[in-house]
Amino acid sequence: MKIEDLKIKKLNETATIPTYGTEYSAGADLYAALENDIEIKPGETIMIGTKLAMEIPTGFAGLIFARSSLGSKKGLAPANKVGVIDSDYRGEVKVPLFNHSNSTQTITKNERIAQIIFIPYLKANFIETESLEETIRGTGGFGSTNKNA
């Protein structure tokens, strides 16, 4: 496992630097930078700020995922399912939390609201063609391997 330095800027005093839960955690927890608790009604999306900006290295992206405990216990998850922070973005990292539950949920100051994972990516040069290399699978899509889910 390779560890890299990543520059991070607190935009105000309510910000909490992301933390890893364990030595082998892939995702670093992002914290709600709130002055007061926020309620999220069923079916509602609220943008929660972290009051952090990051300098993600070129060739990498920060992917924001749900925290499993927040999703399973409160029914809260990022509205966009997976957020993408590009390496040239220098604004505040925010998480749009959607309430999937049937009851109003509360986010408190410094609560862990999501996790961020940094991944390398491949930039594609799209080349239009009339044919593609054949494979055994071919055009078989969802469920094409006939394996039970």
Q: What CATH number does the domain containing 33 carry? A: 2.70.40.10
* Residue 143 domain flag: no
H or E segment at 68? helix 68-74
Give the domain extent around 74. 7-120
Q: Could you give the CA distance from residue 60 to residue 118 in angstroms, rounded to a whole number?
A: 6
**Token code pair at residue 114:** 């999501």
H or E segment at 133? none
pLDDT at 3: 85
Checking if the pLDDT of 148 tops 60, the result is: no
pLDDT at 147: 62
* Residue 149 domain flag: no
* Residue 134 domain flag: no
Q: How confident is the model at residue 138 (pLDDT cuts 50, 70, 90)?
A: confident
If DSSP codes are grouped into helix, strand and coil, which group holds residue 71? helix
* Residue 140 domain flag: no
What does the pLDDT look like over 20-42, one tens digit per residue?
A: 999 999 999 999 999 999 999 99
Domain count, the chain: 1
What does the pLDDT look like over 40-81, one tens digit per residue?
A: 999 999 999 999 999 999 999 999 999 999 999 999 999 999
pTM above 0.75, yes or no: yes
pLDDT at 139: 85
DSSP state at residue 56: P
